[in-house]
Structure 1
């Protein structure tokens, strides 16, 4: 999965769109759980409400994170929470909390930095975008860290200390957890008149899905199915691409 620190990678690649087109190169980042399902969900909501100007995405990952993702979250502690407002990336020192019904009643959620604040903007043109995660204890602790503590935790020796603790975690979800787990995503788009559309995706566990989508995307690009330049999964493959994978369902929650 693409960790939260890679928002800047998405932005840097998008900035090289013209260069990539001139060289005949396809730039397609985010071909795992971040951001294939959420990007397709965003594109679907935009299709349902073409004049949407606000997008919220809620994610429940379905299993524990790997050491690699945990380490990148450690690196992001000092950076604050990133979202898009009026087309621009902004950073909030303190994350807002919310709630979402992923299908089994409302659960607490919290804002996180996630790739969609970059990619969904380019897939949909929606100027206001934020992402919230189901509020697992570890994520809530990271997001609620006071600003002066975040600055301290961003220092080199503290990063090394925190990452050493991460190395004591399990390497990642077990094979059993990956096979049995299920992720859920809910998206909500709203326009200036207050009209709202909502939809929910259910997918295999995030790391299991990443293996499937990354391999499929690589095959398609190698086969020359897509043109040069920067693309996102939603813009390259369309809103319904995620539905081509086993175990994925989508429900529109209002008509």
Structure 2
């Protein structure tokens, strides 16, 4: 009787072990082929909502999961193409074709938003306007192609000089504008002088050997926090 009981216990233990192994295998397969793909889909959808890149899915074993992953992949491609199309529409609407700087309309919109933000939080903001000196004479003497070359070279020089937070635009013709957020009048004056000196120190070398000096005149105005109301609101 005791031997039979021992054999029964052994058989029961073996059966329980087999059941546990089978249950573990089933859970592993469910996690690998169902739960994990669903988690990856959720991560992909969250990334799409945030505009972040989505990693491609590994091939799924289940047909239904694969179909859903394929649909998400198609959605990712459609959103990517839509974003490219949106950027292609935004760029010409906000950018000057010749210089690559922002155009007047976009600069005015940015300035309006920045002034509102500065007023709301009582923060400083400055605007600098600059004119290229004797630009009409350059066009009349050397032609508009050289005038365009002057503008493009100035744009490249200013882009390297300005801070990343500054906004530069071609306001019209030879007129340029710079939106300087979180900048006091003293800091804006220092930056404007640095721009003016750098432009003056970099004359344009023409193909025929002519060295064309370039200078600009500038003015600035700004909004200062209320605690600095005694600071002059404009400088030339």
Work out whether the TM-score is over 0.5. no
Greater strand share, 1 or 2? 1
Query: Relative CO higher for 1 or 2, CA cutoff 8 Å, sep ≥ 6?
Result: 1
Greater helix share, 1 or 2? 2
Larger radius of gyration: 2
Q: TM-score range by the shorter chain?
A: under 0.3
Q: Structure 2 length normalisation: TM-score?
A: 0.24
